[in-house]
Chains A and B, each alone.
Chain A
Amino acid sequence: MASVEDRWPAVHQPKLKTKDLRKTYGLVVALAGASLDLKEGEFLTLLGPSGSGKTTMLMTIAGLVQPDSGEVWIDGRLATYAPAHKRGIGMVFQNYALFPHLTVFENIAFPLRMRGASEATIRQEVARVLELVQLPEVGGRLPRALSGGQQQRIALARCIVYRPSIVLMDEPLGALDKKLRDQMKLEIKRLHTELGITVLYVTHDQEEAMIMSDRICLLNNACIEQIGSPADLYFRPRSVFAADFIGESNLLDASVAGIDGNDVTLNAAAGALLRARLDDGHNVRPGDGVKLMVRPEMLSMLEDGVSADNVLNASLTDVILVGGVTKTYARLADGTLIAATGLTRGPLCGLEKDASVRLGWAKESGVVLSREGPAV
C-alpha cells in the first residue's frame, strides 16, 4: 500500500481537474462542458437542484460513468477513461452501498484486500479507522445490524481506510433524519480537517453546503453557474439563479438610469430611484433591464425621520415570529412582495396589517443582476 507521502504532488498542481466534461443520455444533456479545479485538502461541494448534473459529474470523476468528451486529471495524470478501480478515489454512496453479506470488519478490509495488504496491516488499519469514526466495537456485526448513522460512519471508514487521494461523497446524509444529519455534518467536517483529505461533496441541501464547504460549485441545467466560497455565493451571487437558490432573496425589477464609476442608479419598477455598487469589470450599460437582489436581513424597517441609501414605501402584509428572527412581509406599489428579516426584539406589537412602512438598505447590500443568463 502506497503511503500518503508517496502520492503527494507538487503543491501548485490541482489535486483534481476537469476540463469541458460533457455527457448526454440520448437527447438529455446531463453535463454541458464542466471545468473545475480542486485544490489539495479542499472541501468542495457540488450544489444544485435535482437533474442539474452534479451526480453525473461525480460519477464521471469516479470513473463509473464515461464522459462523451472532456478530460479528467487526477494528481496531474490524465484519467478520463481510467477504470474506476485504478483511480485511487474513495467514494461514499448515497445509501452507503455496504456489502450486506460481509461483516463491518470485512467491509472495511475490502479495499485493503484488493490492494494485497497483509493480514496484520489490515487488522491494524481497520482498527485505526473504526477508532476514527468512534465505533471500535462493531467490527463483527453485519451492516444491517447497525443504525443508519452507524452505517454512515462505516461507509466513511471503508472509504478513508486506504487513504485515497480524493474522497467523493454522493449525498451521503440524504437518508438520515435531521438531528443525525446535523451531527454527521460536523463529524465529516472534523474528519476532513483531522485527516487533511480532499473532498468533493454532492448535495442539494444549501445549508449542508454552506456549513461544510471551503468552496461551492453551483450547478444548474447541466452547467456550472458559479464557483466560490460560501460567502461569495451568498453576498456576490452572479446570476438570478444563484441569488434565488442560496438563501432567501428579494429580487426587484429595475432599469439602469446612470453609472458613475462603480456606483449605479436604478429606476425600480416599484417607482423609486435606487442606488447600488457594481463589481469591477462589470458590463452594465445605461438603459439595461436588470434585477436588484437584496437579502432580507439587509433590509430594515425605518423609523420616522431615519433615512438610508435606498428607501421603499410598502404596506405590511404579515409579521411572523420564527423564533430568534422575525420575518416581515410587505407589498410594494407595483404589487411585488418583499421580505425583511430582523432579530426578534420583543413581542410583536404596534404593527397592523396594511400599515404603511418604509424599508431601507445600504447601497453596498444590493447586487445588480442581469435579468436572465450570465451575471453582469
Chain B
Amino acid sequence: MASAVAQLFSVRRELNANTRIWVIIFSFILPLAIWSLISYVPFVWHPKIEITSPGDVGYFSEGMLVDREVFDSELQKVIKEDKELPEGFPANPVYLPAPHEVAVAFYTAFTTEPKRRSEKWLHESLWDSIQVIFWGFLISSIIGVPLGIICGTYDFFSKLFEPFVEFFRYLPAPAFGALAVAILGIHSAPKIAIIFIGTFFQQVLIVSNTTRKLDPSLLEAAMTLGAKRMTLLFRVVIPGIITYLYKDLRILLGWAWTYLIVAELIGTSSGITWFITQQARYKNFENVYAAIMIIGVIGLTTDLILAWIGRRLFSWEREMAKT
C-alpha cells in the first residue's frame, strides 16, 4: 500500500498506462464532485429558501428565492401573529444551477426555438463564432508566421519589426473596438479584426523565437553541403522548426478563443456571446453554463484533432518521442 502511494508520487516518473487513464478521468470528476456536493447536499451552502407556498407573507410568491435570514424573520413574525406559515426548501442562488440542470440545458439549448424570430438558434450562433475565430486566426497566421520566420532568421528584419511589435502587443486588443467599428462597420469584420490584433503580435514574437531555437549547426552543415539563402530558408529553417511551429499555433489558437467574447460584444453583439448575454438576461443560467462549456468542449476537441493531425504529418517526431 505504502509503496503504491510512493509510486503515485515519485518525482518525474511517468505513471503506468492504467493509472494514468484513471487519474485523467479523475481530473474531470473532481470538479464535478465538488459542484455536485454544493448543489445536492443542503447544509453545505444553500443560502436561499425557495418558497413553495407563500402562506400569509404578503410579498412572498411561489417559486421565489429569498435569503434564509429574511425567511426566518418573516416566519417568526407570522408565528407571532398566528397566521398561515410560509413553506419552502433550502436552495442555491439562481446563478448556480445544479449539474443535472446544466446537463439538460446542453440538450434543450439546441432544441429550444429562439424567443423572437430575428434571433438565432444556438448552433447558428456557434457557427458564427467559429467563423470569426477561423478568419481572425487565418489572416493573422498568413501574415504573422512568415514574418516571424523572417525575423528569426535575419537579424535585420528582427531589428526592423520586433521592437515595434513588442510595443504594440501591450496595447489591449479590446481597446481597438470602437476604432474597428468606425473603420469596418458593425458586423463580422471588426470582430475578426479584434481576434487578429489579439493574436498577430504575439504570434510574430513567438514564431521568431521558435525560429531562433533551431540548432545552428544544422544550418552550418547545410552550408558546407552547398545550401545558400533561399535553399537554407526553405530546406533547413522551415522543416527544422515546423513541428515546434505547429505546437505554437495550437497554443495561439487557444488564445484566440479568449479574445472571442470581447470581440463579439463589439458592434452588433453576435455568436455565442450574444447567446450567453441573452440567456443571462432571461436568467436561464443553466443555458449560460452550458454555452460556456460548449466553448470549452469545442476548444479541447479542436486541439486534440490538431494534435492527432500533427502526429500524422510529422512522423519523424513521433518516432523521436518514443526513443
Indicate, yes or no, whether A interacts with B.
no
